[in-house]
């Protein structure tokens, strides 16, 4: 199958960027060495849905070292780096289906293309592959799958599908929640916000919607930058935690929206900010999402009501309503990946190590795995933690 990417001539640029990431990911380097000897993926076709960026690319090199026959890589929406896509597509054993501006229709088409290859292992993010498999009657049974993120877990639960193979939910690992979500995402969201806007965060009133692992880490990092932070969560327990952590909270979302200079969604749910909120927005408010899917902000609903829409810089749209301007960053795609380079390298070294070792466990030893969802095996959590402590 031919790759579908933006520009093959960017392969050299993608290659040049890899050196730094290879140097800064010691856990993946160690896993790659082990995989070279043990070949856990010998002769397997692997389907992957992940953000196409340099950290993922190095991890894919480790999977290839582990004997994978072919890798079919589908990008996540709005986060593909075209140079990395070109770098990976230049490898004979990798097919990349990922363009910078892919739509949901493109994404669905790619998934069906991958299904026609009958891959034996799914390494998924956002449950795209897992749901695509279960949407139709299939004539093969994969060995199993990983699901990386909270959104994917929620989508699997909401789908009502009775899963046909083991699915290890990386996001159910305490290591993933405590390190990536609570520590890493906040730093990279602040980075994405600063890169996108070049604004001073100190003194701004910033509202974070969703105070789970990612939202609490993000609100904390924003406050450390001098922002006045507000938090809204639909769950009063989490709202109370936000209050106890020192953020301004209210159960009335419109009241918090009305005073916010910047609003960031991080819930994993859809339509959190909609046209219904337009009357409450301050003139000049900036909207951004860092949850897995951009649907947390109802972009079609907002744009349909705008008198005009103007691009005012890379990844920045100004929607003009009767009495106010609303700025939307990165078309609501995850801000840290779309405007920045995603989570800090060490954080993804850790998260991708969990993905690699869980994938290898599914490929080589399913004796302790059940059909359906389950957390990362405890021994893998402990191994990766110890490796990171000592790296």
Q: Decide if residue 235 touches ligand NAD (CB under 6 A).
A: yes
Q: Decide if residue 239 touches ligand NAD (CB under 6 A).
A: no
Per-residue binder mask for ligand NAD (CB under 6 A), 343-382, x = binder:
x---------------------------------------
Reference 65, options 41, 89, 91; nearest CA is 41
Question: In angstroms, how far is CA 152 from the centroid of its own chain?
Answer: 10
Stretch that binds ligand NAD, among 12-20, 99-107, 204-212, 324-332 (CB under 6 A): 204-212
Q: Decide if residue 334 touches ligand NAD (CB under 6 A).
A: yes
Q: Which residue among 54, 82, 166, 210 contacts ligand NAD (CB under 6 A)?
A: 210
Among positive and negative, which fits the CA dihedral 84, 93, 180, 268?
positive
Stretch that binds ligand NAD, among 12-20, 58-66, 234-242, 277-285 (CB under 6 A): 234-242
Q: Decide if residue 295 touches ligand NAD (CB under 6 A).
A: no
Q: Which residue among 133, 232, 281, 327 contacts ligand NAD (CB under 6 A)?
A: 232
Per-residue binder mask for ligand NAD (CB under 6 A), 275-294, x = binder:
---------------xxx--
Q: Decide if residue 218 touches ligand NAD (CB under 6 A).
A: no
- β-sheet bridge partners, residue 249: 231
Q: What is the 3-state secondary structure (H, E, C) of the chain?
A: CCCECCCHHHHHHHHHHHHHHHHCCHHHHHHHHHHHHHCCCCCCEEEEEECCCHHHHHHHHHHHHCCCCEEEEEECCCCCCHHHHHHHHCCCCEEEECCCCCCHHHHHHHHHHHHCCCCCEEEECCCHHHHHHHCCCCCCCCCEEEECCHHHHHHHHHHCCCCCCEEEEHHHCHHHHHHHHHHHHHHHHHHHHHHHHCCCCCCCEEEEECCCHHHHHHHHHHHHCCCEEEEECCCHHHHHHHHHCCCEECCCHHHHHHCCCEEEECCCCCCCECHHHHHHCCCCEEEEECCCCHHHECHHHHHHHCCEEEEEECCEEEEEECCEEEEEEHHHCCHHHHCCCCCCHHHHHHHHHHHHHHHHHHHHCCCCCCCEEEECCHHHHHHHHHHHHCC
Q: Decide if residue 150 touches ligand NAD (CB under 6 A).
A: yes
Nearer to ligand NAD, 122 or 238 (CB): 238
* Minimum separation from the CB atom of position 287 to ligand NAD (A): 15
* Minimum separation from the CB atom of position 290 to ligand NAD (A): 5
* Minimum separation from the CB atom of position 194 to ligand NAD (A): 15
Q: Decide if residue 272 touches ligand NAD (CB under 6 A).
A: yes
Nearer to ligand NAD, 31 or 264 (CB): 264
Q: Decide if residue 211 touches ligand NAD (CB under 6 A).
A: yes
Of all residues in the shown chain, the one whose CB is closest to ligand NAD is: 212
Q: Decide if residue 151 touches ligand NAD (CB under 6 A).
A: yes
Q: Which residue among 18, 113, 234, 258 contacts ligand NAD (CB under 6 A)?
A: 234
Nearer to ligand NAD, 10 or 169 (CB): 169
Q: Which residue among 229, 336, 338, 353 contacts ligand NAD (CB under 6 A)?
A: 336
Nearer to ligand NAD, 4 or 253 (CB): 253
List interacting residues with ligand NAD (CB under 6 A): 149-151, 181, 185, 209-215, 232-235, 238, 266-269, 272, 290-292, 334, 336, 343
């Amino acid at each position: 199958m031919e790759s579908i990417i933006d520009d093959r001539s960017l392969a050299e640029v993608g290659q040049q960027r890899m050196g730094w990431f290879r140097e800064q990911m010691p856990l993946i380097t160690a896993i790659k060495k082990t995989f070279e000897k043990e070949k856990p993926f010998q002769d397997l076709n692997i389907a992957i849905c992940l953000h196409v960026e340099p950290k993922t690319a190095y991890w894919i090199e480790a999977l290839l070292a582990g004997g994978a026959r072919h890798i079919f890589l589908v990008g996540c929406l709005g986060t593909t780096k075209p140079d990395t896509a070109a770098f990976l597509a230049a490898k004979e054993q990798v097919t990349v289906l990922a363009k910078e501006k892919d739509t949901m229709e493109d994404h669905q088409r790619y998934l069906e293309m991958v299904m026609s290859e009958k891959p034996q292992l799914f390494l998924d993010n956002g449950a795209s592959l897992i749901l695509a498999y279960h949407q139709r009657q299939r004539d093969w049974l994969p060995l199993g799958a990983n699901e990386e993120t909270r959104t994917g877990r929620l989508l699997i639960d909401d789908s009502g599908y009775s899963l046909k193979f083991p699915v290890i939910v990386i996001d159910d690992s305490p290591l993933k929640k405590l390190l990536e979500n609570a520590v890493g995402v906040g730093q990279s969201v602040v980075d994405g916000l600063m890169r996108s806007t070049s604004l001073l965060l100190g003194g701004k009133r910033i509202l974070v919607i969703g105070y789970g692992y990612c939202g609490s880490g993000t609100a904390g990092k924003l406050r450390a930058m001098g922002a006045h932070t507000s938090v809204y969560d639909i769950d009063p327990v989490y709202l109370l935690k936000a209050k106890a952590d020192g953020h301004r909270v209210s159960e009335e979302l419109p009241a918090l929206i009305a005073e916010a200079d910047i609003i960031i969604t991080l819930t994993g749910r859809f339509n959190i900010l909609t046209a219904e909120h337009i009357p409450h927005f301050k003139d000049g408010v900036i909207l951004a999402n860092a949850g897995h899917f951009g649907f947390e902000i109802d972009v079609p609903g907002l744009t349909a009501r705008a008198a005009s829409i103007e691009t005012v810089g890379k990844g920045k749209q100004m929607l003009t309503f009767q009495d106010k301007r609303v700025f939307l960053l990165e078309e609501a795609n995850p801000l840290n990946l779309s405007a920045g380079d995603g989570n800090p390298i060490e954080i993804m070294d850790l998260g991708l190590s969990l993905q690699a070792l869980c994938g290898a466990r599914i490929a080589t030893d399913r004796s302790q795995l059940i059909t359906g969802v389950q957390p990362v095996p405890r021994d893998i959590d402990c191994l990766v933690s110890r490796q990171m402590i000592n790296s």
